Structure 1
Amino acid sequence: MLAIDLIAVTITTLAVRSTLFGPNPGIRSSEWAAFAVLAAASTLHLESARGIERRREMAANTSPHTNLKCLWVFASLLLLPLSLVIPLIVLSYLYSWFRVYGRTIAHRKIFSTATYVLASAASAAVLRAGGLLTEPRVPTGFWSLLVVLAAGATWWLVNYALVIGAILLASPEATAREALGELSDQLVVCAGLGLGIAVAALQSSYPWVVPVLMVTVLALHRDLLLPQYQRAAGTDVKTGLATPSYWASAVPAELARAESLRSTVGLLMLDLDRFKEINDTYGHPAGDQALRAVGESVRAEVRQGDLVARVGGDELAVLLPGASEGEVLEVAERIRDRLTTLTVSVPTTDERSAIITGIPASFGAAVYPDVAGTMDQLVLAADNALLTAKRGGRNRIVTARPNPPAVSADQPVGDA
């Protein structure tokens, strides 16, 4: 983080020097006017969305905290020299620091400011390499549009990569999936960059239309809360897995989809063997930590698109759309092997720590429509298979078999 901060300071120094001593020294009055308009619009935007940003900031943990400051920053990149873009970035984060985030996380916001500076410098380099040397650099033709889009993609990629790198270095326990965050958040950022192009084009030609876009900007910003609310409603607090209510709504929807596509749906029910002993020996906080580690392990072994839920105290379920029986068993075996060798450091009741090695589980597997035609039948088949695995010695996988067809009273029983 300190290295990135130092590079940002170096870039700032070089940008100011280029403005003061370059081929065309100084800043034009039109550029100062554009800077004032963008700074005022950015501040108004931040103040209007202050409640949204505070709520989102409190929920941020090991995922990128996306925002729409990029809109005004990218617009300024197309209208202003880098020596004015950087003050706009600093002003935006200073205002957010005092009005939104609070002063307890200053080091994080300084780093975020630095990532914006590096991303802006890289984007400005792309604009210059594409032949857009003088401001305003709004697209006026096909080639200039391609250059501006490439600059926007560069801005996003540099900032995103720096933030993810910092998350992974600062939080070794974070998984790659957590660090990457939600695709929906990044799509909103890309939309913000696109709006930045529109703001720059309007500011250079019809500046009085820019305030009209503020309504669109605020509506887009409010949509940033939607994925967060959806995750909060469908995520178990202790494990980060799906909740039983979310699970109950996802299964019939997936079965209906499979029916229309004439596809299959696999279901795994797994119950941790003798998990109560962990709670009794080390305490419930240790049990919660062990359960969280189990959830992360299960998610690491399932396929992309599979849904993992906590459906009971120490009972988990995995929904595998389009999976055959062989694929379900393959996933189950991977999970079983990983849990058997899982090592977790947990707190104990005497304020020390203990190492738990191996948290085995029993598995029941069922596949729609092979063994069931409805959600209730599928869950019951998997539950019965799980019970058989428990009774058969635990730490094993049992697959539900199709029920034999009913035999009529007048049909002879004997040779098949």
Structure 2
Amino acid sequence: MTWALIRSEYHVADFGYFAGLLALAVVQAELSRTVERLRVRIAGAPHINMTSVWTFGGVLVLPTGLAALLAVLVYGHLWLRVWRGMSQRPTYRVIYSAAAVVLSTLVSGACAGGRFETGLAGSALIIAAAVAYTVTNAGIIAVSVRLHTGARSARALFGGVDDNLLEFATLVLGGMTALGLVYEPFLVPLVLLPVQVLHRSVLVRQLEVAARIDGKTGVLNAHAWHELTQREFAEAAGAQDTFGVLMLDLDHFKRVNDTYGHLAGDAVLKAVATTISEQVRDYDSVGRFGGEEFVVLLPRAAEDDVLVVAERIRRAVQELVVDVPGAEGTRRVRGLSASIGVAMYPVAGRAVDRLLHVADSALYQAKHTGRNQVVSMAVAA
């Protein structure tokens, strides 16, 4: 960033644009302090951030060095006024996120040329800069998440569709802000209104999602999973599709709590939930029914495919190693296993409760015939 600041060429207007964008970012952060603190507590996509409105706008109208400095100052203000003291946003994470945005700014600034242009060529540069900004930022954060958590699913690394649509919306607003600064600077403060509305809408959406999620494991809670399965039943009946339900229970989980403590048990449950989610498709649904029992919905799948997935989950749980902190240092929990019961729609039943009953019967048989195995509804019948 220092090198970019030294090498950049400046015009008087650049410093006016810089001051305007920084002022707007500060005002927006102050107006939305409460909303942002709530949003951060339940946020799921680490690279999605409303600051893109200002930092990307800076990419389009500022020399690359000033655009990078703007990102640093915006993040510094957010940390001081909003994120400081929040366990969800420790200092090192803020620094890392700011560094990722600075790098994204430098890369996208190279695409945009550091100058705002109009016409077809200018539009192409803006699109290229937006793509470079998003890919660089998301890629850096994804690598960090992968290294620190071991997550491998696309949703865990890059966020969901809604998350990335939000990022796209902030980039669009950033482009509009840049246009306003160049052609109608006195209208630019009006951008604050859609940014505030978007910010609050994001919080409402995240609260809705949080109400459906099991707080301990991050997968669907029992009520949300049951609702989703009811909808799948209706769709499958109309399309004459088949789908599978897996019911999974960790074997001898009480030993984990007794040996390592309940906090370690919670860490194991979360790791198992993540492992299950990584072994299924993005449109499959994983839920927690309570205790150490999980359930998986596999729509549009034949029985052979469902059994393959169940066996893959069983092996992944068996190979799982969970590091848990303790008074005597980090300890490793290994030797886990799971029993899994399988039921298929419509053979095993045409109602949710019936299908769950068959899956539970298959799970019961798996438990009482050796554990650490998959039993299908055909065996359980």
Q: Contact between 2:180 and 2:187, CA under 8 Å: does it hold in 1?
A: yes
Aligned to 1:156: 134
1:143 shift after superposition: 3.2
Aligned to 1:286: 264
Aligned to 1:94: 76
Structure 1 residue 259 and structure 2 residue 237: aligned? yes
Aligned to 1:389: 366
Aligned to 1:14: 7
**Equivalence map 1:1-400=2 (5 Å):** 8-15=1-8, 19=9, 26-28=10-12, 30-59=13-42, 63-102=45-84, 105-128=90-113, 135-137=115-117, 139-140=118-119, 142-169=120-147, 171-177=148-154, 178-346=156-324, 351=328, 355-400=332-377
Structure-2 change in CA distance of 1:273 and 1:206 (3 Å): same
- SS of 1:164's partner is helix
Q: Contact between 1:346 and 1:355, CA under 8 Å: does it hold in 2?
A: yes
What is the distance in 1 between the residues matched to 2:79 and 2:72? Answer: 10
Q: Contact between 2:225 and 2:287, CA under 8 Å: does it hold in 1?
A: yes
Q: Contact between 2:358 and 2:380, CA under 8 Å: does it hold in 1?
A: no
What is the distance in 1 between the residues matched to 2:74 and 2:179? Answer: 21
1:229 shift after superposition: 1.9
Structure-2 change in CA distance of 1:279 and 1:109 (3 Å): closer
AA at the equivalent of 2:73: L
1:58 shift after superposition: 3.6
Unaligned runs of 5+ in 2: none
1:118 shift after superposition: 2.3
AA at the equivalent of 1:73: T
Structure-2 change in CA distance of 1:378 and 1:282 (3 Å): same
1:54 shift after superposition: 1.8
Q: Contact between 2:43 and 2:206, CA under 8 Å: does it hold in 1?
A: no
- SS of 1:240's partner is coil
1:266 shift after superposition: 0.8
What is the distance in 1 between the residues matched to 2:334 and 2:72? Answer: 49
Larger radius of gyration: 1
Structure-2 change in CA distance of 1:398 and 1:182 (3 Å): same
1:333 shift after superposition: 1.1
1:188 shift after superposition: 0.9
Structure-2 change in CA distance of 1:341 and 1:192 (3 Å): closer
1:200 shift after superposition: 1.8
- SS of 1:234's partner is coil
1:201 shift after superposition: 1.8
What is the distance in 2 between the residues matched to 1:110 and 1:341? Answer: 34
**Corresponding residue pairs, total:** 377
Aligned to 1:411: none
Q: Contact between 1:273 and 1:395, CA under 8 Å: does it hold in 2?
A: yes
Q: Contact between 1:57 and 1:65, CA under 8 Å: does it hold in 2?
A: no
Structure-2 change in CA distance of 1:50 and 1:298 (3 Å): same
